């Protein structure tokens, strides 16, 4: 890949630079997805606490914990 520089010169990007850019892009996207999921979970907990929403009946984490307790 080639990249233009201010002076009109062209610099070739090597494979490592491209890999680093791709890695950073993936990390940024993943951080955003995880942050949005965390905020949604916190918002849902707050709504349950305030009594504005019902607690979901089928929470996968709680079911997994119950299953682990039964298997012990």
The DSSP code sequence of 6-71 is TTS-EEEPPHHHHHHHHHHHHHHHHHHHHHHHHHHHHHHHHHHHHTSSPPPS--HHHHHHHHHHHH
Which pLDDT value is given to residue 27?
A: 97
pLDDT top residue among 1 and 62: 62
What does the pLDDT look like over 15-42, one tens digit per residue?
A: 888 889 999 999 999 999 999 999 999 9
Alpha carbons 6 and 53: distance in angstroms, whole number: 55
Q: Which two tokens stand for residue 39?
A: 């905020």
| Beta partners for residue 10, in sequence order | 4
- pLDDT score for 68: 87
2 and 12 Cβ atoms separated by less than 8 Å:
yes
Domain range summary for the chain, segments of one domain joined by + = 2-71
pLDDT at 8 (0 to 100):
55
pLDDT over 60 at 66, yes or no: yes
């Amino acid at each position: 890949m080639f990249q233009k520089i201010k002076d009109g010169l062209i610099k070739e990007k090597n494979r490592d630079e491209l890999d680093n850019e791709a890695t950073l892009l993936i990390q940024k996207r993943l951080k955003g997805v995880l942050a949005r999921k965390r905020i949604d979970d916190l918002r849902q907990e707050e709504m349950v606490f305030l009594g504005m929403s019902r607690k979901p009946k089928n929470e996968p984490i709680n079911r997994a914990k119950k299953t682990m307790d039964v298997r012990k």
